[in-house]
Amino acid sequence: MEIDPFIFRLSIFILSIFIGYYVVWSVTPSLHTPLMSVTNAISSVIIVGAIIAGLAGNSGSDFTISNILGFLAISLAAVNIFGGFLVTQRMLQMYKKKKNK
């Protein structure tokens, strides 16, 4: 009997939860705010779904509701991607070590 591809996706999912668990525990507490903003940015990889929705099955200039929802989702996710990564960058640049005298 063949294994359903769903099981493979589930395996990726479960293993990633464990990776996330160990990786996040090793994040230093002083960087918890950048951690939140960067997780925000990366969870917006949901934009790949939005792009597919936006371009799905239209050949002419008539857009379906599905396409339009996709467009909206693209801009929302884009706000998050650009906003999230840039604000994280801005924060991380502020963390400086003591200057040696």
Partner 1 sequence: MIMSANLSAIFYLISGVLFILALRGLSSPETSRKGNFFGILGMTIAITVTFLSIESFSSGLIYVLIFLLIGGLIGAFIAYKIPMTAMPELVAGFHSLVGLSAVLVAISAFLNPEAFNLGFQGNIKLASLIEMSIGAAVGAITFSGSIIAFLKLQGIMSGSPITFRGQHLLNALILISILALTYLLCSTQSSNFFWILLAVSFLIGFLLIIPIGGADMPVVISMLNSYSGWAAAGIGFTLENSALIITGALVGSSGAILSYIMCKGMNRSFFNVILGGFGAAEQSASSGDKEHRPVKSGNAEDAAFLMKNASSVIIVPGYGMAVAQAQHALREMVDTLKKNDIKVTYAIHPVAGRMPGHMNVLLAEANVPYDEVFELEEINNDFANADVAFVIGANDVTNPAAKNDPQSPIYGMPVLDVEKCKSVLFIKRSLSPGYAGIDNDLFYKENTLMLFADAKKMTEEITKNL
Interface positions, 5-24, toward partner 1 (CB under 8 A): 5-6, 9, 12-14, 16-17, 19-21, 23-24
Shortest Cβ distance from residue 34 to partner 1 (Å)? 6
Instruction: Pick from 1, 2, 3, 98 the residue near partner 1 by CB under 8 A.
Output: 98
Closest CA to 30 of 86, 99, 94: 94
Question: What backbone torsions phi and psi does residue 92 show, to the nearest 5 degrees?
Answer: -65, -30
Q: How far is CA 13 from CA 4, 20, 32, 55, 92, in A?
A: 15, 10, 23, 27, 29
Q: Is there binding between residue 96 and partner 1 (CB under 8 A)?
A: yes
Binding of partner 1 at residue 2 (CB under 8 A)?
A: no
